[in-house]
Amino acid sequence: MLRDITPVTVVVGGFFGDEGKGKVAAYLGLKDMPSAAVRTGSINAGHTVSFNGVVWKLRSVPSAFLCRSCRLYIPAGALINLDIFLDEVEKTKCGDRIFVDFNTGVITDEHVFRETTDELMKLIGSTKQGVGAAVSDRVMRKLKLAKEYEVLKNYLRDVALEVNEYADRGGKVLVEGTQGLYLSLYFGTYPYVTSRDTSASGVLSEVGLGPKKVDDVLVVFKSYVTRVGEGPLPNELNPDEVVRLGFSERASVTGRVRRAAPFNMELARKALIINSATQVALTKVDVLFRDARNVREWGKLPVEVRNWVSEVENVLKVPITLIGTGEDVMAMVDLRQDVFGSLRR
């Protein structure tokens, strides 16, 4: 059966988070105009969206908010903080088209307090946003859910059912994962991990989308690897090297300096397997190759960039369909038509 390109797509990170999922999801929002965009995970993850000189750092609202016709969803498996959620809704002016599941978890100051005073959280370098404490309350069935808060009344929906309805009707659905595979509670560098499974399956389970509903799993890799907080980072560069190579970054939620290492094929291959990837997005190639900056066509990329991307693709054996060349959402080489054609089996 022939079908339209990527009706239900899940975007996940393949390293330690901060691969550029926010930019990729925002690009897919503007380009594909999905009917629904769902943001999973929680406020420990910050997604940066930079469009026409305006920058948003989002911890709750889906990055595809730029697409004005898109309905935005926070699913049952996600957790919100009321102040952060309401603030972002106002800043992105999406109050009339964003919806929260009745069962979405709510983080309170008490959860933040528990994490800031916890020795193990300090040791692993937690962002201390209260996410892990709230998840543990949820496991113990003590966490308050969105439906218990009057202030959320107008946003409440059965997100799982609504999103499945879009998918069943053939509408495009974009699921935005948060963090990266190696921060997964199950597949990451435990105990230096976050409080959830960050793989595509974990992300889909937070939404209530079954595995058969998904057409594309897009794994995002940055052209180098970064990690914030503690825990192993293979081939970690020393701070001088990080600066020299232009890999210096700061975490968007905590402002901490990110540790860095060169692109890692081994980690990437495993991430593709566990996520059952169908496509790869490679971001920030302009950091490795200055001449790639803001290029939007494959043919206009310098030949050394094209050679490097092809080499990576040959090793990974999954098509690289999106190549990020700058901060702006639209600074992207989009190869999906070339790779798959307009229709796809």
Q: Which residues are marked as active site?
A: 18, 47
Distance CA 49, CA 65 (A): 10
Is residue 194 a contact point for ligand IMP (CB under 6 A)? yes
Helix residue ranges per DSSP H, the chain: 21-32, 82-92, 109-116, 119-124, 131-139, 159-168, 200-207, 239-244, 265-275, 285-288, 303-316, 336-340
Taking the complex as a whole, the smallest distance from the CB of residue 47 to ligand IMP amounts, in Å, to 8
Taking the complex as a whole, the smallest distance from the CB of residue 252 to ligand IMP amounts, in Å, to 8
Give the orientation angle of helix 303-316 with respect to helix 265-275, to 10 degrees. 50
Shorter beta-carbon distance to ligand IMP: residue 210 or 234: 234
The helix (run of H) or strand (run of E) holding residue 318 is none
Q: Which stretch binds ligand IMP (CB under 6 A): 11-19, 88-96, 138-146, 153-161?
A: 11-19
Taking the complex as a whole, the smallest distance from the CB of residue 29 to Mg ion amounts, in Å, to 17
Is residue 228 a contact point for ligand IMP (CB under 6 A)? yes
Contacted entry of Mg ion, ligand IMP, none for residue 103, CB cut-off 5 to 8 Å set by kind: none
Is residue 19 a contact point for Mg ion (CB under 5 A)? no
Selected from 160, 183, 217, 233, the binder of ligand IMP by CB under 6 A is 183
Taking the complex as a whole, the smallest distance from the CB of residue 127 to ligand IMP amounts, in Å, to 3
Taking the complex as a whole, the smallest distance from the CB of residue 226 to ligand IMP amounts, in Å, to 8
- Residues from 264 through 323 that contact ligand IMP (CB under 6 A): none
Give the tokens for residue 116: 């800031």
Shorter beta-carbon distance to ligand IMP: residue 34 or 180: 180
Across 70-82, b (16+ Cβ under 10 Å) vs e yields bbbbbbbbbbbbe
Give the tokens for residue 263: 């692109």
Contact letters for Mg ion, residues 225-254 (x by CB under 5 A) = ---------------------------x--
Contact letters for Mg ion, residues 36-75 (x by CB under 5 A) = ----------x-----------------------------
C-beta pairs of 28-33 under 8 Å, 24+ apart in sequence: 28/64, 28/174, 29/62, 29/63, 29/64, 29/65, 29/66, 29/67, 29/70, 29/174, 30/64, 30/66, 30/67, 30/329, 30/330, 31/334, 32/5, 32/6, 32/172, 32/174, 33/67, 33/69, 33/70, 33/172
One-letter amino acid at 151 equals: V
Shorter beta-carbon distance to ligand IMP: residue 16 or 27: 16
Is residue 129 a contact point for ligand IMP (CB under 6 A)? yes
Taking the complex as a whole, the smallest distance from the CB of residue 21 to ligand IMP amounts, in Å, to 9
User: Are 45 and 239 contacting, i.e. CB atoms less than 8 angstroms apart?
Assistant: no
Is residue 18 a contact point for Mg ion (CB under 5 A)? yes
Q: CA-CA distances (angstroms) from residue 110 to 78, 137, 276?
A: 18, 11, 38
The binding site for ligand IMP (CB under 6 A) comprises 16-18, 44-45, 124-127, 129, 131-132, 178-179, 183, 192, 194-195, 228-229, 231
The binding site for Mg ion (CB under 5 A) comprises 18, 46, 252
